[in-house]
Chain A
Amino acid sequence: GIQVEQSPPDLILQEGANSTLRCNFSDSVNNLQWFHQNPWGQLINLFYIPSGTKQNGRLSATTVATERYSLLYISSSQTTDSGVYFCAVPPSLDLTDSWGKLQFGAGTQVVVTP
């Protein structure tokens, strides 16, 4: 099945700093989601981004499916950005096999300090 690798595994930021999180995947994909898991364990949808670039406030994401990576940008980080960021892609490009399933990366743990 597809392999999903996220980097860096850990990131410590001072409030106000910018950062880039990366998600590499081993095969072509037709779907990709970014999630934020807050310190209380809740999974929050950030982006559904199979390709192209999207922005939502201080966060933006870019997926280049042909080169098998996606980037999540956090600008002017705040303490509320702390948590784990996951990317997830279908386990197979075969639409008759995927059934909307997602294969998760191990995540990037982000700590934003005041």
Chain B
Amino acid sequence: NAGVTQTPKFRVLKTGQSMTLLCAQDMNHEYMYWYRQDPGMGLRLIHYSVGEGTTAKGEVPDGYNVSRLKKQNFLLGLESAAPSQTSVYFCASSPYVGVRYNEQFFGPGTRLTVL
């Protein structure tokens, strides 16, 4: 099992450019999440998905869009990158077990710099 993988690992963009970050998981998890981590801070939730074809906003969704066309993949898009989006982006997945929520597993992260 590869677990949670993220592509790419690093990226540099110019202001106004667009890009898509890909997250893939091979654990058949229902839930998937995108977080961002800024220097010296904890992770903040951008968007999440509770199943194929569903997405919802998290704590800091502005400037991002997401899609979950396949259960194993969760895409994060930046339509017009801004320097404030310079951050490390983490994807996570979690199984759904009854009404209790199981633990989240994280990918290795994508370091994005917007100039």
Among residues of A, the one whose C-beta sits closest to the C-beta of B45 is: A101
Is the pair B103, A48 in contact by a Cβ cutoff of 8 Å? yes
Is the pair B109, A41 in contact by a Cβ cutoff of 8 Å? yes
> What secondary structure prevails in chain B residues at the interface with A?
strand
Among residues of B, the one whose C-beta sits closest to the C-beta of A98 is: B101
Given the contacts A33-B103, A45-B103, A99-B56, A104 and B44 also touching, CB distance less than 8 Å? yes
Q: Scan residues 13-69 of chain A and give those whose CB is less than 8 A from a CB of chain B.
A: 30-31, 33, 35, 41-43, 45, 48
Complex contacts, B94 vs chain A, CB 8 Å:
100
Tally of chain A residues near chain B (CB < 8 A): 23
Is the pair A101, B33 in contact by a Cβ cutoff of 8 Å? yes
Q: Scan residues 88-110 of chain A and give those whose CB is less than 8 A from a CB of chain B.
A: 88, 90, 95, 98-102, 104-107
Interface centre among B40, B41, B104, B111 (most CB of A within 10 A): B104
Interface residues of A (CB under 8 A from B): 4, 30-31, 33, 35, 41-43, 45, 48, 86, 88, 90, 95, 98-102, 104-107
Closest 8 CB pairs of A and B: A104-B42, A48-B103, A100-B101, A43-B106, A100-B94, A100-B31, A104-B43, A106-B42
Interface residues of B (CB under 8 A from A): 31, 33, 40-45, 48, 50, 56, 58, 88, 90, 94, 96, 99-106, 108-109, 111
15 contacts between A and B (CB under 8 A): A31-B100, A33-B103, A35-B106, A42-B108, A45-B103, A88-B43, A95-B99, A95-B101, A98-B101, A99-B101, A100-B33, A101-B33, A102-B33, A102-B45, A106-B40
